[in-house]
Amino acid sequence: MSDIIELSAAQAVHAIRRGELQADAVWSAYRDRAAADDLNAYTWVAGPAAPAVEREAPLAGVPVAIKDLFATQGIPSQAGSKILEHYRPPYSATAVERLTGAGAPVLGKTNQDEFAMGSSTEHSAYGPTLNPWDRSRVPGGSSGGSAAAVAAGSAPWAIGTDTGGSIRQPAALCGIVGMKPTYGAVSRYGMIAFASSLDQAGPLTRDVTDAALLLGAMVGQDPRDSTSLALPEPISRPTATDLQGVRIGVPEELTGEGIEPGVLDAFNTTLEKAKQLGATVEAMRLPHAQHALAAYYILAPAEASSNLARYDGVRYGLRADGDGDLLSMYTATREAGFGAEVKRRVMLGTYALSSGYYDAYYGRAQKVRTRISEDFKAAWESFDFVATPTSPSVAFELGAKLEDPLAMYLNDVCAVPMSLAGIPAISIPNGLSEGLPTGFQLAGPAFSENRILDAAHALERAIGFDGSKARTA
Ligand code: GLN
């Protein structure tokens, strides 16, 4: 049993396909660990009966944990919110359908910040998730349940969503790999929306090879999401072992002030390793990156205030009685169903979009977003990738930032620029600082997924991170 848990997902897939391992044994090993999970990583776990999967299927029956906000037919899909409590959708998200179609049955639904708003999973209506490296600390967020489950070995792999860092930051804080692909690479159909122009699904996995395998099974154009697109080439298995000829840019704006010294040390150590592998590493500028967080906290709440208007007590889940009229039923439902952070975002977004303020806030933030995209386009003239630490700190104590929204928002200072530009970025485990994982982020131009995965694969070998401690804890 424990041998199964020590296999990467890709190794398990290959062993099953070669007939050396039974898919049912993999299912049971993980299903039992998920059912016994004491990190509150799951909001729902599948029953013990192993689903029948063809051995020849690309993912061979190795199960996947799914962030709560993916609509999953007949299975609670609550987006971490009370307002969707007991909601069981009549259909599944395209990403989930593709994965189950490729032979990865649903192992469970994972905890998250309510509507993916947060960086710690403490904003879940179903209680916080704990970090398997240190249970007094957060796993990051908003995909904290997926990250904690993979790190703790209660899931072989998982999917999450990243609007402004929600795959990459929890991956960094839990010592696993997380990738946000190019905007549009994975269909958003059936993903409970936060900020539609930013939301992207992607894999959270133990290593880079697993990330490529899982991402490859999710991507593709979908007639049900008009913003989805076909990648120019399929995702391939990363094989690179060196970085000969690779040019890495290190933006001054995202590698200085505000980054914990231990995180920065680990980052610089890996840059040295990149040079030893043949890369050139040069300081560069992303002149508008320092405004990314401010623009994001206008744009994302603006879109959220519109997306969340549908939770009115009529169409989904919870309904609270008002004073007998429709408007008071709406307000009572939203008052009872939404948590404090969601209310804060709805208020911010509604204000930013209100007549008279629209140009001053939303319009201006859109202009900043364009400038950030242009900064990256200019960077690609001289560099293949941009590298930064993923998160400015290691996992923090539960409760440490809950009363200070701005401190919480700063977690994504290095992740948000790539989201605004719609470009792909990966976070890989980058060694420990004070005994806790740190992340190394590599971003590239739109559609450079295969090159990012290859470079990350070479770096991963050089870093030699050992995540097994979190699985035994
Ligand atoms: N932490 C950021 C926020 O709270 C990003 C969340 C995300 O990527 N979903 O909005």
pLDDT digits (tens, 9 = 90+) for 125-157: 999 999 999 999 999 999 999 999 999 999 999
Instruction: Select which of 119, 120, 166, 419 is catalytic.
Output: 166
2 is catalytic: no
Q: Which of 344, 440, 385, 446 is nearest to 117 (CA)?
A: 344
pTM of the model: 0.98
Question: Does 292 score more than 70 pLDDT?
Answer: yes
**Residue to mutate, 113, 119, 121, 196, ligand 1, most ligand atoms under 8 Å from C-beta:** 119
Q: Which residues contact 87 (CB under 8 A, 6 or more apart)?
A: 76, 77, 78, 316, 317
Instruction: Answer yes or no: are the C-beta atoms of 341 and 297 closer than 8 Å.
Output: no
- Mean pLDDT is lowest, of 18-32, 77-91, 309-323, 412-426, for 309-323
Dist. CA 271–CA 244, nearest whole Å: 14
> How far is ligand 1, taken at its centre, from the CA of residue 308, in Å?
15
Q: Round to whole Å and give the CA distance between 126 and 114.
A: 9
Tell whether ligand 1 has an atom less than 6 A from the beta carbon of residue 130: no
What's the CA-to-centroid distance between 385 and ligand 1, angstroms? Answer: 23
Ligand 1 nearest-atom number relative to CA 416: 5
Looking at residue 283, what is its pLDDT? 98
Provide the pLDDT confidence category of residue 473 given band limits of 50, 70 and 90.
Answer: low
Atom of ligand 1 nearest to the CA of 166: 8
Q: Which of 77, 81, 119, 142 is catalytic?
A: 142
User: Is pLDDT at 1 greater than 60 in this prediction?
Assistant: no
What is the C-alpha separation between 75 and 174, in angstroms, rounded? Answer: 26
Most informative mutation of 113, 115, 117 for ligand 1 (most atoms within 8 A of CB): 117
Q: What is the pLDDT of residues 372-405, one digit of tens each?
A: 999 999 999 999 999 999 999 999 999 999 999 9
Q: Is 136 annotated as catalytic? A: no
Pairing assessment for the beta strands 106-110 and 280-284 based on DSSP bridges:
unpaired
CA 166 to ligand 1 center in whole angstroms? 5
- Residue 426, amino acid: I
Q: Is residue 267 scored above 60 in pLDDT?
A: yes
Active site residue 354: no
Give residue-wise pLDDT tens across range 316-361: 888 999 898 999 999 999 999 999 999 999 999 999 999 999 999 9
pLDDT band with cut points at 50, 70 and 90 for residue 122: very high
Q: Strands 425-433 and 436-443: what pairing? A: antiparallel
* Ligand 1 centre distance from Cα of residue 447 (Å): 23
Ligand 1 nearest atom to the CA of residue 167, by list position? 8
Q: Could you tell me the distance, in angstroms and rounded to a whole number, from the CA of residue 244 to the centre of ligand 1? A: 35
Nearest to 203 by CA among 464, 426, 457: 426
Give the side-chain half-sphere CA count within 13 A for 244: 3
Q: How far is the CA of 245 from the centre of ligand 1 (A)?
A: 34
Atom number of ligand 1 nearest to Cα 119: 1
Would you say the CB of residue 165 lies under 6 angstroms from ligand 1? yes
- Ligand 1 pocket residue status of 163, Cβ below 6 Å: yes
Any ligand 1 atom below 6 A from CB of 142: yes
Residues 301, 304, 309, CA angle at the centre, nearest 5°? 130
Rounded average pLDDT over 1-25: 93
Tokens, residue 22? 């039974």
List Cα–Cα distances, 29 to 49, 134, 153, 371, 459, in angstroms: 12, 23, 10, 49, 30
For the CA of 409, the closest atom of ligand 1 is 1
